[in-house]
């Protein structure tokens, strides 16, 4: 997945449009959880570090693989083992927050 980081959320065009049409609150409400440890790159929450990434929407798609006890499984198998809220509705998102420990490579 291709992402950017170090972005000011309120300067993203789609965020500005969503604020204008009422999809988002008129003013930024801050982080829903955690606290910035190094703004605008890293968030810390309950002792875990996360990196804040911003999607590019430029013909790239995140590739997700699911594993159970080290064995790759399909999405439906993984979904049956998780909370419904842990799977997205596939709507485009502007922001992705990833545990630093899960980042394998940054190019």
The whole-angstrom separation of Cα 99 and Cα 86 is: 14
Mean pLDDT of the chain: 88
- 43-72 pLDDT per residue, tens: 999 999 999 998 886 666 777 889 999 999
Q: Which residues touch 59 (CB under 8 Å, ≥6 apart)?
A: none
pLDDT, residue 56, reads: 81
Above 80 in pLDDT, residue 91?
Answer: no
pLDDT higher for 1 or 81? 81
Give the mean model confidence (pLDDT) for residues 32-47. 95
């Amino acid at each position: 997945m291709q992402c950017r980081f170090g972005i000011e959320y309120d300067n993203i065009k789609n965020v500005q449009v969503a604020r204008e049409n009422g999809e988002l609150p008129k003013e930024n409400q801050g982080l829903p959880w955690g606290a910035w440890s190094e703004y605008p790159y890293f968030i810390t929450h309950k002792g875990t570090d996360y990196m804040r990434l911003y999607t590019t929407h430029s013909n790239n798609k995140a590739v997700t693989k699911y594993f159970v006890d080290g064995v790759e499984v399909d999405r439906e198998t993984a979904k049956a083992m998780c909370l419904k809220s842990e799977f997205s509705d596939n709507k485009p998102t502007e922001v992705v927050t990833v545990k630093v420990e899960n980042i394998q490579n940054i190019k």
